[in-house]
Structure 1
């Protein structure tokens, strides 16, 4: 039996493999925890570093450069965090998360044979075919 921490590590490794296969991003890849909801997170540092923080792409309002290769991330609710990486590196990680989001959304649209109709996450219920199309991307071929 795998303990909680061990289970979490295994899940992160599998999610990283999915990201690498779908996007080609191999260094500090963003993660998608479930295709049913827009839960795309990008890391501030390597996941092996204690100072790493995972940030949801949908809540980032702005990234501001600070002195000494630090930056401030401002979220849509006006909360902020100061991170010990440059604004350039943070922006790059953020764009990797957005790229992963785009690749998953595009693949799901093509798989549902209606690329001109975006998936509407505000509907009271999700289309099961759209959800299954996203999950199918995680099957190892």
Structure 2
């Protein structure tokens, strides 16, 4: 059992699991076979990963608010380039909160008052949340994905003119896709301009 978990592109879900008064996490991966357990809660895993990838968890929440106008149960962009977006089932103030990677959800349906979720690898799990609530959270994550990419494209086009003769190297995002120097600089500028507080150091 792990003390900490590093979220990556193939992470499908982080489910809250109670164990003798403690909150642990059941983690499912796209090609991971059986789910694994982590001693940290889903909320703690999320907070630490946001910090490792780019910024603090509060800063990621503020970015979501600015882009979507949402005020509660906020979906979160974990990495720098928006390739990993998770949404939650409950408030992040409660231990029962679980997180899902929108990228790997194939479908979901009502199941005896809860929600039955099917992932892209055909794994299915039952989640203790109503279909209506789950659907609302899923749509909020879609909204964040759409709004983020609209803003990102605006900056890429505006910065392209400034750097059109720049033939510097390429960066890679969390999914391993090549990101041009133009896109990289444009996104860093976007993050800097979006946050009301001082941006955490990005390495």
Pairwise same-fold verdict (TM > 0.5)? yes
Match of 1:90 among 113, 134, 137: 134
- Deviation, structure 1 residue 124: 5.4
- Deviation, structure 1 residue 37: 5.1
Q: Distance in 2 between matches of 1:80 and 1:48?
A: 27
1:25 aligns with 2:77: no
Q: 1:124 and 1:90, CA in 2 relative to 1: closer, same or farther beyond 3 A?
A: closer
Q: Which structure has more strand as a fraction of its residues?
A: 2
Give the CA RMSD over aligned residues.
2.6
- Deviation, structure 1 residue 60: 0.5
CA radius of gyration, larger in: 2
- Deviation, structure 1 residue 50: 1.5
Q: Distance in 2 between matches of 1:71 and 1:124?
A: 33
SS of residue in 1 equivalent to 2:179: coil
Q: Distance in 2 between matches of 1:54 and 1:29?
A: 11
TM alignment of 1:115-126, pairs within 5 A:
125-126=178-179
TM alignment of 1:1-141, pairs within 5 A:
8=48, 11-36=56-81, 38-67=83-112, 69-113=113-157, 125-139=178-192, 140-141=195-196
Q: Distance in 2 between matches of 1:110 and 1:13?
A: 25
State the Cα deviation string for residues 47-106 of structure 1 (Å, max 9, x = none).
122121111110000111011x31111110111221111111101101111111111111
SS of residue in 1 equivalent to 2:147: helix
- Deviation, structure 1 residue 17: 1.2
Aligned residues: 130
Q: 1:65 and 1:124, CA in 2 relative to 1: closer, same or farther beyond 3 A?
A: closer
Q: Distance in 2 between matches of 1:124 and 1:71?
A: 33
Q: 1:37 and 1:106, CA in 2 relative to 1: closer, same or farther beyond 3 A?
A: closer
The runs of at least 4 consecutive aligned structure 1 residues that moved more than 6 Å come to none
The 8 Å contact of residues 82 and 148 in structure 2, kept in 1 or not, is answered as no
> What's the TM-score, normalizing by structure 2?
0.57
> What's the TM-score, normalizing by structure 1?
0.79
